[in-house]
Amino acid sequence: MSVERGTATKRPGRAADASWRIRGEVLALDRPVVVGVLNATPDSFSDGGLHLEPAAAVDRAWRMIEEGAGVIDVGGESTRPGADPVPAAEQWRRIEPVLSRASELPVPLSVDTTELEVASRALEAGAAILNDVSGLRFEPRLAELAAESGAGLILMHMRGDPRTMQDDVAYDDLLGEVRSALERSIGRALERGCGRDQLVVDPGIGFGKSAAGNLELIARLRELEGLGAPILVGPSRKSFIGKVLDLPVDQREEGTVAACVMALDRGARLFRVHDPRRARRALDLAEAIRRAGDGPRPDVRGA
């Protein structure tokens, strides 16, 4: 497993300069990390059916790495609104061909699942990260797997489950509720033996939120920095972009990049996207601008 190692000088107290411990290695977050989405599913909202064939899935993983992905997130179950659950055996059948090549890929592999059996087999195959969209609500034992293996653990906020999450998207205090739920998820993980440095939090853009709520989440993302874990966002091609820009799913890349850049400015360090190349370039430039602004201001008097 090849892991990016940063060289930038650390600034104490800055969540943006954190790192993430995954299976004995350290993934440096001083440079924004692009997480490439690889859905081995027939019904995902954006790329369903494109990577069901093992060869196509593996080829796509390599292309995303070439385009700048620092992590590949593999999923065998769609979590789009209204999606039905997929049995663990079928999930594994879909993702095993990619995970069986884990040792050949130069970046860590993440598995997007809430199923204990799938997660366990994925870790045995060489996956380094568990991505739990339920934040340990569905299967708390995923935290024990992460603790035993040293795997990274992504804890996401979602109200309800994929079938019901869009039934109620009204919140009295959106950021307060998301923060409290993520605090509970972190607590579950720590109670079951995980180190805090194994954890990443995800506010769950598009999961049980309205279009306005998703915009608010990104705008107020700084309010989640106090959780003490790096922040991942996944705005890629989501419906809120389509509603704001009046665009179909296959024309939302510019909106995705804009959402990622705004999230970067507000403290996010990991960005889960379908198109790593565009996100990688935009985030690298935005990070360079951000760092230039952190330095001493030149004396321009008389210039």
Q: Which residues are catalytic?
A: 238, 272
Encoding tokens for residue 80? 């789009």
CA atoms of 147 and 143, how far apart (whole Å): 6
| CB neighbourhood size of 217 (10 A) | 26
259: closest CA among 276, 228, 282, 291?
Answer: 282
| CB-based contact 68:35 (threshold 8 Å) | no
CA atoms of 276 and 67, how far apart (whole Å): 6
Residue with tokens 């999923």: 75
CA atoms of 29 and 22, how far apart (whole Å): 12
102: closest CA among 62, 47, 53, 132?
Answer: 62
Give every CB contact of residue 137 below 8 A, 6+ residues apart in sequence. 185
